Structure 1
Amino acid sequence: MFEQLHTERGARAAATKVLAVLEAFGAYDGVVSLVELVRQIGLPRSTTHRMVGFLRSAGLVDMVDGRFFLTSRVAELSAAVPTEVPCGMREVLLPVLTDLYEATHEAVHLTVRCGDVARVAERVHGRRSAGLVSQFSGALPLHCTAAGKILLAGSEASRSGSLRLEAHTPVTITSGRRLAEELANVRRYCVAFDRGEWSSAITGVATPV
């Protein structure tokens, strides 16, 4: 019995330390050195390094040039969290989405920002675009989707410099300077475009609501 309690306490303590390391990434926009982690969470360097090792083995953290960063696996896990729009807001926006669909007969999405990704909170579509549902069911990158660019441009501090500008197609914006120019145009004209940047088979247009 004593050994079982000792094991359970040890497991809880280890889990608490791993969670502390994960939370510390938030203070550094998802990219952090081992020294910064030690300073942030107050654990010994050896313990912190071991906890980071657990996260790396789980595919949640990786390292480049001596700095650790959260992987897309974290975004995939966050996509499992239900995204809800308050009922009152949904009642106001759903007729607008429906009218837009009736006018265009294209899939219409209401998208919200969840950290460094975007997620579809509501959608209206017909049979022709039913195949898009699965593609838009998870986390969407901010830098190469129309809705993502709108959300980035509308943030008081877009922090686009901290995003990993991963190339999804040959025309994906992977330069911080180009993205900044793109977001400046989005703010100026209140419209954003995705011209095959996330998927070569998909184009999109977005505007804030």
Structure 2
Amino acid sequence: MSPVERNTSAAGDEPTSVVRRISDLLAAFGPTDTTLGVNELTRRTGIPKATVSRLVKEMEGVGFLERSGVKVGLGLRLFELGERASRRRSVREVALPFLADLREATRQTVHLAILDGAEVVYVEILPGRDAPWLPSGVGGRLPAHATGVGKALLAGSPPAAFEAVVAAGLSRVGPRTITAPGALVRQLRRIASTGIAYEHEESAPGVACVASAVRVDDGPPVAAVSASGWIGKVDIRRVGPAVHTTALSITRALTEVGDRSTGR
């Protein structure tokens, strides 16, 4: 099989690599999708059905997909590889006790997320009591501009990160999502000054969130932590200092881990 194939349905006559097609197939599984059939994978990816069938069979063979009747779901091998992603793993392992303490103190849903291009990826979520429905899920993604963690991460990132978000389009996710670049810039400046990002119904109706970034050695943020709850049931500004303190505690813990690993 050639390492490069043609995908005229999705990209005209430009060659599309097998790796890109495998990535598209995996990305076709949404946060609520347990299994999908070949027809649905074909529809979502635009890859020819015969190619989808062949790739699905090969991905089953290496454990990337697992068969469930006539459909397939994401395989255990992907979980194993994900656990080896060192940055995500180390940050999550160090942060988890602090996240648990934050949930206990606030009774809200606590998130840990990282920035990946124009999106945030959720590394850990600890649901709070009577938590509202949230669009986030572990391993899931949301547009960075529409989330508290995303804004906290962008506020401490190089200008190129903001430019990537604007280039991707400030799509509306919740009733009050920021869709104007100028308004987003103004918020990010305030967040950079205070260290705390607020979100009110920007990612979902009825949801309020406060977030703060985790930084190490004055570099760009490596992650962000947040607490989310129902608007009207939580005074998110009173929760803000606790979230900020948690982020600082995780920063100190990560710094200590780094010092031990380098012998400093």
**TM-score, length basis structure 2:** 0.48
2:127 corresponds to: 125
Structure 1 residue ranges without an equivalent (≥5): 1-7, 23-56, 61-79
- Is residue 2:178 matched to residue 1:173? yes
Could you tell me how far 1:126 is from its partner in structure 2? 3.7
1:206 to 201, 211, 225: 211
2:97 to 95, 98, 109: 95
Q: Partners of 2:145 and 2:89 in 1: how far apart?
A: 29
Could you tell me how far 1:185 is from its partner in structure 2? 0.8
- Is residue 2:196 matched to residue 1:191? yes
1:147 corresponds to: 149
> Cα deviation per residue 1:112-145 (whole Å; 9 max; x = unaligned)?
112211011012224522854xx21221111111
Task: Provide the aligned length of Structure 1 versus Structure 2.
Answer: 149
Query: Residue type of the partner of 2:136?
Result: F
Q: Partners of 2:145 and 2:101 in 1: how far apart?
A: 28
2:136 corresponds to: 136
2:6 corresponds to: 14
1:107 corresponds to: 109
- Is residue 2:118 matched to residue 1:116? yes
Could you tell me how far 1:166 is from its partner in structure 2? 0.7
Structure 2 residue ranges without an equivalent (≥5): 8-13, 21-43, 48-77, 215-264
RMSD (Å) for aligned C-alpha atoms: 3.5
> Cα deviation per residue 1:143-174 (whole Å; 9 max; x = unaligned)?
11100101111211322432311122342111
| Secondary structure at 1:119 match in 2 | strand
Moved more, 120-129 or 199-208: 120-129
Q: Partners of 1:198 and 1:86 in 2: how far apart?
A: 23
Q: Displaced runs of 4+ in structure 1, greater than 6 A?
A: none
Q: Partners of 1:139 and 1:93 in 2: how far apart?
A: 19
Q: Partners of 1:131 and 1:198 in 2: how far apart?
A: 11
1:45-60 superposed matches below 5 A: 58=45
Percent identity for Structure 1 against Structure 2: 31
2:68 corresponds to: none
| Secondary structure at 2:198 match in 1 | strand
Which is bigger in relative contact order (C-alpha 8 A, separation at least 6)?
A: 2
| Secondary structure at 1:129 match in 2 | coil
